[in-house]
């Protein structure tokens, strides 16, 4: 620690700034070394608070205070005596009067604290102002509850505490309700899960704030200074107190490490920090990445703290709120009863006498909407009975039936499953599920751990059956509501990712697990096959909709043949929408939804028509042409004029474009006076087939750099490309259609001025002959810098379409499409079409390309060189 005498000598010599900064630096380095040497973090936090007490006291004593009626008070976390390296030093300057006589001294004192480098949070109030603020704002009251007087008259703070006590304001029940709502609101900001991939160690569910909430409630009602002194066995038994202390120490250590390695107040476990902490904890890459091992440790700690928070909240609820009236007890059966909305065991031997009661308690809760949760003493009994869930328990026909009945239950199914995970029941009943609990997916795509994602998927399936979600998911809600056996969908959701982390194809592994489970749980062969097929194919519909040309009837026929019947299609559609929304909420937008709806609708038609009666491609083309001609004839065109304008256009144009868009394009081209200048059309559409995207149509002289150039311009306009269609037209012209959204994935508002700006900017820029081949430079997103994920490419030939299919999967980055377009130019590649999809921070793009003779690229060496050029260009940018 710092040399206190040297510090005081420095103050005596008038070297206040230098002496203070040296003392802070010495203390910080000493504490950091103690941390690296493995000293208890709680001890280090108290030592830092004690040092700051000494430092502030000495600096305070140096001031020439004209009045003794002022106190220096530590509040908040500092008041508790817990001070992390870069946490704010929260101070209250408490005045006995209005304080006018000490204003200049206070300013000088606070300025000095800032000058020496302390992060100060302060307020200056009189006793009356403290009381008034505490009455209006519970956060002010909470800060004052943790106050310590460092200098000055203690009676001032005693007055505040007396006048803000529970007899004067915020009585214990009112305080409890307010703090409980504060916790709910905070949890909702973090999706009510401990398992966000970049959690906040202070504020996320299972974080340190959850412990502080129950500590504040305990202090307000029981008058204890900390949870450590909440000795009553009815609140926390010794085992639970040991868990609390152990996991609190772990969270303190994580937070301390974050402050230390970032050299600032940082409470977010961002991806780039996770690697540093994994190394600090001594983890090394093996079967699992070091970062995944560390984060699994973190999640298990957060889960333990969440459970303790729940136990204490329920205990406090019984003592604080239930004391306001008589208990309301309802007998449910010989084993369980409901007391004040919570189900509880009627005796302590319930689970030991009949282990099946472990599942029964969740089944009863899912069948009775009046049950809000499981009583805290019963949660303890559950946790102490987990050893009873063994092979014999899993083989019990009674237990198997109860689990399937649970999935068929009408109320709060997801909540029961979440509780089963939190209390350790689900992971023991389905051991494969136990392996994915707390397992992070260290990528740019997933938002949650595997188990949290799984439960989110099932919750989405439940939402599809609730009327209030019908507006957001109109088609999915209708499809899900008519599924004959909803439990099959839940089982598919439960097993769809259960194979992750074991190596190999997780869909195949999960399907094998699902088959064993379904067979052992008495499902019929047909139902078992349905669940197994769904798990095995849970990624198929998303992949087809976003990576294949679903305007092609051949693609629809192939997918329909793969699905086989309408029941499978309905189940797969519901699972796919639930999965995408449960992976990362930002991934779902109107565009992605429209692709799935289009694939679902066309496949449904194909199945009803009969797979032996496919739509002829030429019939599709002829129907589109005829409809477009009818529209154009109505607008004064002759058939001869139309055919001339359409000369040399390939069949893909009439397969992929809607008749109304073809008419729009054709009329605009015919009316475009200056043929030497590019034609640019822009419009937003609310038609479901284009899903609120903005359509940009460009008719221009074909050139090798045109695609790259357009992509750069669209990025300058803060637009993201979600589909690109390129058609070669007569006279060396090209017809390019881009479907774009805002860069945040949202639709562009119906804003005429912005649409005009987009059109004018593109038209002016494309007129210019010169073009800077270097894409625009933007800052690489923070998250992407945390991942060293190499670009992946593949290349194949579509013999039916007679072009090459190039697939590129890579972390997203500014200018990506423009760089790929430049490589196309370098290798004399002609782009025929593109399917662009951005999945969170990852892109998976498909390009349909040919050589200059409109032939697929088949030379293996050339294919390898093209792919290497793309990988090198993108990965070089990623590390730049």
pLDDT in tens, 223-258: 777 777 665 555 777 888 888 899 999 999 999 999
Residue 40's region, left for phi above 0, alpha for psi from -120 to 50, else beta, is: beta
Instruction: With a cut of 60, say whether residue 879 has pLDDT above it.
Output: no
pLDDT in tens, 27-56: 999 999 999 999 999 999 999 999 999 999
Confidence of residue 292 (pLDDT cuts 50, 70, 90): confident
Q: Which residue has the tokens 């397969």?
A: 655
Average pLDDT over residues 520-536: 97
Q: What is the 3-state secondary structure (H, E, C) of 670-739?
A: HHCCCCCCCEEEEEECCCCCCCCCEEEEEEEECCCCHHHHHHHHHHHCCEEEEEEEEEECHHHEEEEEEE
Helix, strand counts (H, E) of the chain: 39, 17
Instruction: With a cut of 80, say whether residue 821 has pLDDT above it.
Output: yes
Pairwise CA distance, residues 329 & 324, whole Å: 15
CA 666 to chain centre: 44
CATH fold for domain 4-170: Beta Polymerase; domain 2 (3.30.460)
The domain defined by 173-324 carries CATH number 3.90.550.10 = no
Pairwise CA distance, residues 525 & 174, whole Å: 56
pLDDT in tens, 823-847: 998 898 888 777 776 655 678 888 8
Tokens of 496: 């769809």
Residue 241: per-residue pLDDT: 84
Instruction: With a cut of 50, say whether residue 376 has pLDDT above it.
Output: yes
Q: Please check whether residue 147 is in contact with residue 92, taking contact to mean a CB–CB distance below 8 angstroms.
A: yes
pLDDT in tens, 301-330: 998 898 888 888 888 887 777 665 667 889
Q: State what percent of residues in the chain have pLDDT above 70.
A: 91
Q: C-alpha angle 596/601/605, rounded to 5°? A: 145
Residue 845: per-residue pLDDT: 86
Lay out the sheet containing 329-331: strands in order across: 329-331, 336-339, 342-345, 373-374
Instruction: With a cut of 70, say whether residue 708 has pLDDT above it.
Output: yes
pLDDT in tens, 378-390: 998 998 999 999 9
In eight-state DSSP terms, residue 318 is I
Residue 662: per-residue pLDDT: 93
Instruction: With a cut of 70, say whether residue 449 has pLDDT above it.
Output: yes
pLDDT in tens, 782-812: 555 555 678 999 999 988 778 899 999 888 7
Residue 88: per-residue pLDDT: 94
Pairwise CA distance, residues 573 & 567, whole Å: 10
Is the model more confident about 138 or about 190?
A: 138
pLDDT in tens, 609-621: 888 877 788 888 9
Residue 772: per-residue pLDDT: 56
For the chain, the first-to-last Cα distance in angstroms comes to 41
Best mean pLDDT range from 582-591, 663-672, 845-854: 663-672
Residue 810: per-residue pLDDT: 86
CA 838 to chain centre: 15
Residue 533's region, left for phi above 0, alpha for psi from -120 to 50, else beta, is: alpha
Domain range 669-878, CATH architecture: 2-Layer Sandwich (3.30)
Domain ranges of the chain: 4-170, 173-324, 451-608, 616-668, 669-878
Residue 679: per-residue pLDDT: 94
Q: Please check whether residue 743 is in contact with residue 817, taking contact to mean a CB–CB distance below 8 angstroms.
A: no
Q: Please check whether residue 599 is in contact with residue 607, taking contact to mean a CB–CB distance below 8 angstroms.
A: no
Tokens of 229: 């002194």
Residue 688: per-residue pLDDT: 42
């Amino acid at each position: 620690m710092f040399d206190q005498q040297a510090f005081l000598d420095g103050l005596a010599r008038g070297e206040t700034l230098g002496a203070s900064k040296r003392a802070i630096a010495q203390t910080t380095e000493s504490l950091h070394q103690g941390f690296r040497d493995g000293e208890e973090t709680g001890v280090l936090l108290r030592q830092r608070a004690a040092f700051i007490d000494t430092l502030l006291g000495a600096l305070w004593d140096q001031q020439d205070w004209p009045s003794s009626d002022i106190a220096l008070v530590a509040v908040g976390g500092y008041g508790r005596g817990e001070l992390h390296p870069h946490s704010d030093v929260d101070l209250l300057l408490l005045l006995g009067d209005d304080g006018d006589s000490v204003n200049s001294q206070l300013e000088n004192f606070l300025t000095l604290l800032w000058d020496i480098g302390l992060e100060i949070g302060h307020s200056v109030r009189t006793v009356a102002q403290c009381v008034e603020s505490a009455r209006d704002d519970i956060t002010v009251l909470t800060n004052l509850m943790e106050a310590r007087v460092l200098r000055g008259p203690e009676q001032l703070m005693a007055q505040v505490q007396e006048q803000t006590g529970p007899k004067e304001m915020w009585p214990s029940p009112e305080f409890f309700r307010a703090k409980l709502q504060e916790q709910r609101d905070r949890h909702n900001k973090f999706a009510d899960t401990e398992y966000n991939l970049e959690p906040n160690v202070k504020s996320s569910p299972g974080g340190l704030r959850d412990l502080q909430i129950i500590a504040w409630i305990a202090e307000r009602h029981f008058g204890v200074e900390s949870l450590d002194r909440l000795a009553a066995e009815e609140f926390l038994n010794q085992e639970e107190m040991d868990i609390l202390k152990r996991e609190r120490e772990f969270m303190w250590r994580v937070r301390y490490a974050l402050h230390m390695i970032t050299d600032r107040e940082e409470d977010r476990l961002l991806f780039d920090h996770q690697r540093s902490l994994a190394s600090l904890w001594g983890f090394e890459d093996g079967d699992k990445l070091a970062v995944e091992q560390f984060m699994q440790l973190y999640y298990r700690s957060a889960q333990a703290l969440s459970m303790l928070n729940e136990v204490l909240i329920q205990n406090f609820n019984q003592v604080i709120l239930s004391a306001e009236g008589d208990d309301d007890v309802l007998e449910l059966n010989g084993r369980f009863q409901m007391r004040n909305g919570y189900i509880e065991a009627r005796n302590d031997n319930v689970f030991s006498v009949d282990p099946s009661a472990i599942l029964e308690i969740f089944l009863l809760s899912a069948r009775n909407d009046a049950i809000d949760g499981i009583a805290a003493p019963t949660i303890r009994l559950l946790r102490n009975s987990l050893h009873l869930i063994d092979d014999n328990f899993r083989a019990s026909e009674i237990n198997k039936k109860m689990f399937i009945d649970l999935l068929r239950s009408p109320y709060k199914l997801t909540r029961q499953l979440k509780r089963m995970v939190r209390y350790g029941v689900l992971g023991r009943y389905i051991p494969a599920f136990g392996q994915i609990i707390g397992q992070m997916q260290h990528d740019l795509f997933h938002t949650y751990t595997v188990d949290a994602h799984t439960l989110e998927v099932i919750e989405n399936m439940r939402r599809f059956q609730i009327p209030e979600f019908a507006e957001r998911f109109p088609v999915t809600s209708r499809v899900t509501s008519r599924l004959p056996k909803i439990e099959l969908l839940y089982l598919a959701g439960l097993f769809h990712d259960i194979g992750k982390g074991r190596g190999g194809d997780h869909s195949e592994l999960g399907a094998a697990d699902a088959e064993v489970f379904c067979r052992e749980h008495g499902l019929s062969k047909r139902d078992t096959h349905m669940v197994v097929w769904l798990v095995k194919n849970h990624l198929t519909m998303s992949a087809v909709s976003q990576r294949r040309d679903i305007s092609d009837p051949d693609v629809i026929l192939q997918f329909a043949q793969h699905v086989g019947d309408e029941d499978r299609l309905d189940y797969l559609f519901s699972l796919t929408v639930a999965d995408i929304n449960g992976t990362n909420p930002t991934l779902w937008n109107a565009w992605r939804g429209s692709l799935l709806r289009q694939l679902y609708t066309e496949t449904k038609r194909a199945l009803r028509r009969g797979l032996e009666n496919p739509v002829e491609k030429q019939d599709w083309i002829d129907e589109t042409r005829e409809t477009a001609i009818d529209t154009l004839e109505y607008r004064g065109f002759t058939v001869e004029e139309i055919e001339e304008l359409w000369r040399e256009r390939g069949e893909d144009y009439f397969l992929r474009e809607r008749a109304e868009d073809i008419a729009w394009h054709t009329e605009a081209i015919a009316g475009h006076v200056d043929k030497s200048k590019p034609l640019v059309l822009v419009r937003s559409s609310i038609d479901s087939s284009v899903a609120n995207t903005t359509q940009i149509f460009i008719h221009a002289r074909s050139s090798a750099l045109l695609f790259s150039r357009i992509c750069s311009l669209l990025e300058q306009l803060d637009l993201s490309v979600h589909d690109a269609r390129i058609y070669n037209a007569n006279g060396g012209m090209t017809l390019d259609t881009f479907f774009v959204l805002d860069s945040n994935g949202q639709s562009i508002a119906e804003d005429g001025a912005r649409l005009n700006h987009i059109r004018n900017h593109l038209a002016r820029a494309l007129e210019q002959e010169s073009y800077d081949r270097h894409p625009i430079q933007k800052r690489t997103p923070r998250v992407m810098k945390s991942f060293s994920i190499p670009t992946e490419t593949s290349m194949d030939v579509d013999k039916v379409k007679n072009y090459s299919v190039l697939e590129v999967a890579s972390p997203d980055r500014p200018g990506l499409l423009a760089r790929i377009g430049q490589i196309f130019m370098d290798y004399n590649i002609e782009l025929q079409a593109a399917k662009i999809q951005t999945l969170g921070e990852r892109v998976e793009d498909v390009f349909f390309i040919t050589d200059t003779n409109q032939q697929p690229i088949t030379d293996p060496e050339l294919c390898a060189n093209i792919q290497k050029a793309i990988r090198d260009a993108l990965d070089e940018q990623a590390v730049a």
